[in-house]
Structure 1
Amino acid sequence: MPSPHLLRKSGTFTALDFAPPRKFKDSDTMSDAGSIRSNRSGISAVQNAALRSGAGRVSRLPGDTVFTTNALQDQLKPQWGMRP
């Protein structure tokens, strides 16, 4: 078996064998279905429709969930009557 040093020096491996991955992939070959390594990582049609209709927007959340910094400070202040 040849040594790694001789293999490196020989013309067995060329620069084409170690071509780096492409930086920008073609949009026509890309898929929304996810990748092989992370299965189901793509967005489904139901999730896509929900995002388009406004799911996850701050303006759609209830008022008690989203508050200003002043309301946050008032809510986090300790009170004497916290325990019944």
Structure 2
Amino acid sequence: MGKLHLDGGGSPNSATADVQSTGPNTCWLAFWQRTTSGKTSQGVRVSPYSSGGAGSPYYHDSTHQVAISISNGVQEAGSNWYN
């Protein structure tokens, strides 16, 4: 349902994700941060047969990790925490 790209430089670093809706369903992509107690820090809604992306900063320590989740209203997938 999507790809996660993590860049390699700077502080804060930047985690970016792109999602593409290949069917008739709307898709949602959300970033989650440990520092916000699991609340969404950034998100995007993708219309059917369209694509979109979002990003969030992340740091090289365990308290500033980020994760993403992708949903098409039927299935949902989530990533591990990245730092």
Where is the helix percentage greater, Structure 1 or Structure 2?
A: 1
What is the TM-score with the length of structure 1 in the denominator?
A: 0.17
Higher relative contact order (CA 8 A, sep 6+): 2
Asked which structure has the greater CA Rg, the reply is: 1
**TM-score between the two structures when normalised by the length of structure 2:** 0.17
Structure with more strand by fraction: 2
